[in-house]
Amino acid sequence: MEWRDDGLILGTRKHGETSIIVEAMTRAHGRHFGLVRGGRSKRMQPLLQPGNHAEFVWRARLDEHLGTFAVEPMQLRTARLMASAEALHAVCLVAALLRLAAERDPHPALYETAVRIAGGIDRPEILAPLIVRFETEILSQMGFGLDLAACAATGATKDLVYVSPKSGRAVSKAAGEAYKARLLPLPAFLRNGNMEDDPPPADILDGFKLTGFFLARDLFGPRGQTLPEARGAYLAELAKRFGSTA
């Protein structure tokens, strides 16, 4: 059996004395593992780092086998990631979130957003809102999508500023005012698919507060896990950059 696909390297682990098992998120074949023979060589190691984009050829005798990867690098990012703690933690967070997806289960929308995040590591102003949106996509793809199009109480589509922690549905300012202490903030850049690239720091942090609540409750908690360490590390880097503007 054989297939060829683009993919983003999520992680590696040693296998034997000379080989490496690569974990990649591919466009058409989902999160996939493959053995790279000789992957621990000085020539190959820089090519097989998390965050790098590559073309993979997977071969195996049977579909259920681990199989081998032949890897052709397309975009190397290791040096740029090592130069920015914020970017490095962002890529590690994306990898941790993608591991929520079942192995070999295609999620092309998640793949495209993950590649966009990896490609935006030199532009921190777009990175944070992209990751918030990525977290909403993860929730949606895993069956826990937020409904942010209309007010849960009135059906209104304007002035949506809260989200119900019980239902994951938007709530308008008028309907939620009396209960706002119990509601989650809904930042403007997440409303109705708004693709504004540079929201204010306070909105970004509100976005992470919103997605973090549902990720912890609906995805990580039931698995007996806490939110990824990479998420806390990334938010700490954001706090440094935002400083008193947040």
Q: Domain 2-76 carries which CATH code?
A: 2.40.50.140
pLDDT category at 196 given cuts 50, 70, 90 is low
The answer for residues whose C-beta is within 8 angstroms of residue 89's C-beta and 6 or more apart is 230, 233, 234, 237
Tokens standing for residue 82: 């090592």
What confidence tens digit (pLDDT) does each residue in 104-124 have? Answer: 999 999 999 999 999 999 998
Mean pLDDT, range 81-85, rounded to an integer: 92
> pTM score, two decimals?
0.93
Tokens standing for residue 20: 């490496």
What confidence tens digit (pLDDT) does each residue in 46-82 have? Answer: 999 999 999 999 999 999 999 999 999 999 999 999 9
Per-residue pLDDT at 246: 47
* Domain ranges across the chain: 2-76, 81-148+186-245
Whether the CB-CB separation of 90 and 39 falls below 8 Å is answered with no
What confidence tens digit (pLDDT) does each residue in 143-173 have? Answer: 999 999 999 999 999 999 999 999 999 999 9
Burial class for 16, CB neighbours closer than 10 Å (0-12, 13-18, 19+): exposed
What confidence tens digit (pLDDT) does each residue in 21-43 have? Answer: 999 999 999 999 999 999 999 99
Residue 81 Cα to chain centre, angstroms: 16
Per-residue pLDDT at 125: 86
Q: Is the pLDDT of residue 195 over 60?
A: no
